[in-house]
Homo-oligomer: A and B are copies of this chain.
């Protein structure tokens, strides 16, 4: 069968139901407009009921049944849920938490990410699956494990930690220097003396390297299975692993380096979506590989793991599906199809009830799936348009989380506060790692690039020298990648280019005023800047009579040829952030894709060979006009007479104009 440009479907757990049910369920999926199922993750005890004894006959039948109903298949390796025999035979494979408590059977992710034995067993089951399905035309790709994340503190993890540090620093003297271990007599004589810690009153150097360690270990864990599959798989089969929103467990850019595809699980836990914040996360996932991605799971209504598991309102599940596509998703899969009659997630949102009958949400999902099918051809081989890049740095996020100084400084919230007005104004933002190629973005914003290596600084300086406009947020350029203070004050290695330095930073318990443009208020954080070059322009100053901040520069900017560098030393209020966004967009000559659109209407565009497809979503409660350039053809949704009704979606192909 031809692979559809846009996948839509669900996770299916045939192992949970009698085979007699399968055809009914699959027929309902087909009727709902689905074309894709994900199968197999968590089914280890069915695939390998006893050690070394494999049974794939049921899976063969499930894949065949799915295909008969027009479903392409993504196979998940089942390693997030080891069977009881495994952890009984090999108790050392069980995860140990930071307090030394060993996990038990019955939940999931209870294995140690460091266990060599577990790697062997996981590789074997993945290889066995690959042997059987690597050349199966019905199988389009592979998902490794499921939502990897929690580290382990067992003895193998400790040994890997020491090996990791040795590989990173070479000799212990280097570690001692980078970590500044003369402080509190921390000096290590040997790597083996370094304790493994994720939390607690430890050197922030150690704690940041813990994150580097989990990144390396999880990457190695995923690649272990990836290699086993790639050794046999058709090249057309992709390999991915599904990740979680804003997950801080490891550096996602690193983990995705050698995977084919990014995919993630988008949940709105409290059922009250903030569409801009959610869009930022899509853009981050797209940035992992700077390529379109999959929405591997999303909720049909509600989740079951927060204090109040409110359902999304009617229409919002559809809005979220189209938002994902607008931001670069090529697939939308719902979780879950039908709840198991028992087990931890029987209350989770689902498309059917346990009785196999539709839940109310299924009608909306099916209608959305049919729309996606209708728009599939237009959206084939298109990618989102963005002329602004925002830099996201896991090291920076971690460094701030480890030493917040102000508990209200949440780097994700600060990133989102910067992102919000830029996304609304520019209608397309790429979220990238610091070392990405930035040349095609006239504007680059790094909200709080706390950790900034010398080579990253050089890369950004080159960008500015090449005519780019760089905006740095507060706390930028403070640390190196061992979490050490740069010998120079912020922005450290970029201070010479900025021509200004941060004289002092302050944690605020109440807001202070700002004069100039942007004016308004600063809260949570304020830095005083001192220009040391005449051509630095002060945009804003603090108004704090009697206080340290009074009249000190808060935002400075400097032009360098056609480019510029701007440093924002304060966490701005939303209006000030909007003023700032307008200024820097104007300076970088970034125009919106569509002018005059109300801020409640999300505008995304995907461009392909000669095509431009707008995805328009009205997240608000009022109708709004949207004026499109060129000749518009509605390929999905209900956009008519240039008006978008409340909670409506319009997917419109525009010809006669390129996406700007």
Chain A residues in contact with chain B, CB under 8 A? Answer: 13, 15-16, 42-46, 50, 78, 81-85, 88, 99-101, 104-108, 178-189, 193-195, 197, 200-206, 270-272, 302, 304, 307-311, 313-314, 339-347, 353-355, 357, 359-360, 403, 405-408, 482-489, 503-504, 506-509, 528, 546-548
| B343–A183 CB distance below 8 A | yes
Q: A188-B84, A547-B313, A548-B360 are in contact. Are A342 and B405 (CB under 8 A)?
A: no
What is the chain B residue whose CB lies nearest that of A179?
A: B342
In Å, the complex CA distance between A342 and B487 comes to 11
Q: A311-B548, A346-B403, A548-B360 are in contact. Are A271 and B185 (CB under 8 A)?
A: no
Give the distance to chain B from A550, nearest Cβ to Cβ, in Å.
9
Chain B residues with Cβ below 8 Å from A547 are 313-314
| A487–B355 CB distance below 8 A | yes
* Besides the known contacts A45-B182, A179-B342, A314-B547, 5 further A-B residue pairs in the complex with CB atoms under 8 A apart: A42-B184, A50-B189, A184-B343, A313-B548, A360-B528
Q: A182-B15, A342-B180, A342-B203 are in contact. Are A309 and B101 (CB under 8 A)?
A: no
| B197–A342 CB distance below 8 A | no
What is the chain B residue whose CB lies nearest that of A409?
A: B308
> When A and B form their complex, which 3 residue pairs have the shortest distance between CB atoms, in order from nearest?
A180-B342, A183-B343, A45-B185
| A344–B405 CB distance below 8 A | no
What is the chain B residue whose CB lies nearest that of A346?
A: B485
| B16–A182 CB distance below 8 A | yes
Q: How many chain copies?
A: 3
Give the distance to chain B from A333, nearest Cβ to Cβ, in Å.
19
Give the distance to chain B from A108, nearest Cβ to Cβ, in Å.
5
In Å, the complex CA distance between A508 and B508 comes to 36
| A344–B314 CB distance below 8 A | no
Chain B residues with Cβ below 8 Å from A488 are 355
| B308–A359 CB distance below 8 A | no
Chain B residues with Cβ below 8 Å from A354 are 485-487, 489
Name the contact of A343 in the complex, choosing from B99, B180, B341, B487 (C-beta under 8 A): B180
Name the contact of A485 in the complex, choosing from B13, B45, B339, B485 (C-beta under 8 A): B339
Chain B residues with Cβ below 8 Å from A46 are 182, 185
In Å, the complex CA distance between A54 and B46 comes to 59
| B343–A43 CB distance below 8 A | no
